[in-house]
Homo-oligomer: A and B are copies of this chain.
């Protein structure tokens, strides 16, 4: 089930969308069976791009940071999902420690306030603890609407992590660990650490995630009798690139060229007029600035914008993922927009649009200057009613986004199983 939210999409429903809408009970049952065998990531946000002829996830964040963009009306869904998640993991839970990113911006403060509220309403005492080792006394983060949150110094004992006078049974990471896994978080075998440490960007690789996604998408496409490419960004593999590395650059060009050739064949097969493009992005993180779109591998020679971006300042070497680019067809007030689907446990709890007025439809929107538009529930007269004449009720267009978002979440479940360092002992 996916809440009925109003999307910016107004065009006619294409074949893919119609098939997804018609197959709702079969899809929900299939997902139910998958969740019997795989544990969903505790929470996630999935960036989607809808090119019209295809719809695909382009980024799956296991430490979502945009819950402030969900409307207040969606909170009960989030709380209900949180209750279901806690009930399964640790029903006797009393105290929850949230470890957030070190970011005191007003949007982040609102996001944290949301997280605190959701888990408080789910029946937990919630406090915030910072990974910043220089923090000696609680830091106050002002909330834009008034009030404040306190982020406290973490207190580590030999076996447990907590705060002063606060011993949690569950620790919720809302920090992507891109800078490495802190010692503070290691060896916590007595407490539930969610998501697990290997969901952090020290371990995670986008290529590994999309490999799992391809597996999920193939199963799903078989269920619906369709080509999995319609929901999958095609992969061109990864390339290792060092600074001033001519051989690496040649490999990258070759990978991009090969993928572009495959995509041109696909576009021809489907009669798609749009020229295909590929994106090159860092395999080990979500640093959006590094994402580059290419319509021709020769663009790599021309230097310019590209020359500076694949490696961050001071970086020696980087693994890059070459992937099919998916354009977004959605616009909000003429600005390019992409939907973001938020999940908790097995449930879609809401969504919002990431909007960037300064970017094109084939560019990455997760970059400075982007804004966010919460999606609202559809007003009641717009809800679908089975048994009512077709056309009498507009379909839930957000449903398809909720399905593809959950496929990406399921892929993350496969991925975390495959990369679990504890699981290796049993192979």
Residues on A close to B: CB < 8 A? Answer: 1-4, 24-29, 31-33, 35-36, 71-73, 75-77, 79-84, 86-87, 91-94, 113, 116-117, 120-125, 143, 145-149, 346-347, 377, 380, 383, 385-389, 392
Docked Cα-Cα span, A214 to B34, in Å, equals 42
Nearest CB to that of A79 among chain B residues? B1
Whole-angstrom CA separation of A33 from B123 in the bound complex = 11
Q: A374 to nearest B CB, angstroms?
A: 10
Instruction: Identify A386's interface contact among B26, B77, B93, B117, CB under 8 A.
Output: B117
Q: A32-B91, A123-B29 are in contact. Are A388 and B145 (CB under 8 A)?
A: yes
- CB-CB < 8 A to A76: which residues of B? 1-4, 77, 377
Task: Say whether A80 contacts B1, CB under 8 Å.
Answer: yes
Count identical subunits in the complex.
2
Additional A-B contacts beyond A26-B123, A147-B387, A149-B387 (12; CB < 8 A): A1-B83, A3-B76, A4-B75, A28-B124, A29-B124, A32-B91, A35-B91, A71-B380, A73-B73, A113-B387, A146-B389, A147-B389
Instruction: Determine the chain B residues whose CB is within 8 A of the CB of A36 once the complex forms.
Output: 91-92
Partner of A75, one of B24, B26, B149, B383: B383
Looking at the assembled complex, report how far the CB atom of A227 sits from the nearest CB atom of chain B, in whole angstroms: 24
Chain A to chain B contacts (Cβ below 8 Å), 11 pairs = A1-B82, A1-B123, A25-B120, A28-B83, A29-B92, A32-B83, A32-B92, A33-B91, A36-B91, A71-B380, A84-B84
Closest to A150 in B: B387
**Residue from B91, B123, B385 within 8 A of A145 (CB atoms):** B385
CA distance A383 to B120 in the complex (A): 14
Q: A335 to chain B: closest CB distance in Å?
A: 24
Q: How far is the CA of A35 from the CA of B92 in the complex (A)?
A: 11
Residue of B at shortest CB range from A27? B123
B383 and A72 contact, CB distance less than 8 A: yes
Do the beta carbons of B385 and A73 come within 8 Å of each other?
no
Q: CA of A31 to CA of B35 in the docked complex: distance in angstroms?
A: 25
Q: Is the CB of B385 within 8 A of A147?
A: yes
Please measure, in the bound complex, the distance between the C-alpha atom of A77 and the C-alpha atom of B73, giving whole angstroms: 11
Contact partners of A80 in chain B: CB under 8 A:
1, 77, 80-81, 347
| Given the contacts A32-B86, A33-B91, A346-B83, A387 and B122 also touching, CB distance less than 8 Å | no
Please give, as numbers and ranges, the residues of chain B lying within 8 Å of A71 by CB-CB distance.
380
| Closest Cβ–Cβ distance, residue A390 to chain B (whole Å) | 11
A27–B124 Cα gap in the complex (Å)?
10
Q: In the assembly, what is the distance between CA of A3 and CA of B380, in Å?
A: 17
Nearest CB of chain B from residue A93's CB, rounded to whole Å: 7
